[in-house]
Amino acid sequence: MNETYSHEFNWWQKILQKTLGMRRINRDSIDFSWGYFAPRWGLEFVVHRGFYFDDQYRVSFALGRGVMHIKLPFRVKNYRPSSEWEQYGFEVFEDLFWIRKGSTKKTFYLPFKHWVFEGHWILDKDNAWQEVGKKGLPDSWDFRETDAYSETHDYTYTLKSGEVQHRKAKCTVENRRWHRKWLPWVKMERRVIEIEFDGEVGERTGSWKGGTIGCSYKMQEDETIEQCLRRMEREREFN
């Protein structure tokens, strides 16, 4: 949904503006004079003692689809303008459970939902998987340079201006594995080509932010390094 302000409202949006104080609509929220509604999944109840340079108390809550954030008719005594504010309550975000108490917070990983990292393997020059990154094992960066099997291919990327960038892409094959917390037999694996370009790629090339000089791309089953790279060449945008 495009961002729409009050002066752009159609007839039914103007009705909501008059009856509910609606001010703006975008893909992430519907803003009102008294707070906002975010159409996303949530589980939380948090009291905010101030909010983004605002001395007004607020409360946010959710029990499933949709998060309500409401201004309260109370102001914080001895409020000091700041981008930080005190919060009290709990919140679930992705695989974390947050307990907020003033300016401090505690977080806990949710069992059965959180993924625990098991290991990182790189294919070596003898076509064998070698684990890297853990204590006592080779560093992944060093292993790529000296012992990993690699292929270098030409890579082209067309900017929005029509300019074509020509690069060399050095690729290694890597595998990472996780398991669910408390369910160690439930596993997730991700096999990718890890790519290092010999120059910047993408729309930010030459800017202060800089273009992309390295990335990874998920491999499909029975796909070769070059096949995966060519698929990325067709599909991926570097903005």
Please report, for residues 1, 95, 113, 176, the alpha-carbon distance to residue 190 in angstroms, rounded to integers and kept in the order given: 32, 19, 17, 5
Say if residue 123 is in the same domain as residue 222: yes
12: in domain? no
Say if residue 97 is in the same domain as residue 160: no
- Predicted local distance difference test score (pLDDT) of residue 54: 84
Say if residue 82 is in the same domain as residue 127: no
Digit-by-digit pLDDT tens for the chain (239 residues) are 678 888 888 999 888 899 999 999 998 999 999 999 999 889 999 999 988 888 899 999 999 899 999 999 988 887 777 767 889 999 998 899 999 998 899 999 998 899 999 999 999 999 999 999 999 999 999 999 999 999 999 999 999 999 999 999 999 999 999 999 999 999 999 999 999 999 999 999 999 999 999 999 999 999 999 999 999 999 999 99
Nearest Cα neighbor of 215 from 198, 195, 230 is 195
Query: Residue 198: which domain range?
Result: 115-235
Report CA dihedral (49, 53, 59, 61) to the nearest 10 degrees: -120
4: in domain? no
Q: Please enumerate in sequence order all residues whose Cβ is within 8 A of that of 169, keeping only pairs 6 or more positions apart, or say none.
A: 152, 153, 154, 155, 195, 196, 197, 198, 229
- Per the structure, the count of domains in the chain is 2
- Contact, 44 vs 58, CB < 8 A? no
226: in domain? yes
Domain boundary residue, one of 109, 131, 163: 109
Say if residue 81 is in the same domain as residue 148: no
- Predicted local distance difference test score (pLDDT) of residue 79: 77
Nearest Cα neighbor of 9 from 105, 66, 17, 136 is 17
- Predicted local distance difference test score (pLDDT) of residue 1: 61
Residue 104 token pair: 């401090």
Residue 190 token pair: 């991700």
- Contact, 150 vs 174, CB < 8 A? no
Say if residue 119 is in the same domain as residue 206: yes
20 SS3 class: helix
- Contact, 228 vs 219, CB < 8 A? yes
Say if residue 231 is in the same domain as residue 126: yes
Say if residue 78 is in the same domain as residue 134: no
54: in domain? yes
- Predicted local distance difference test score (pLDDT) of residue 36: 92
- Predicted local distance difference test score (pLDDT) of residue 129: 97
- Predicted local distance difference test score (pLDDT) of residue 184: 92
Please give the helix or strand (H or E) that residue 171 lies within, else none.
strand 164-180
Residue 81 token pair: 């303008």
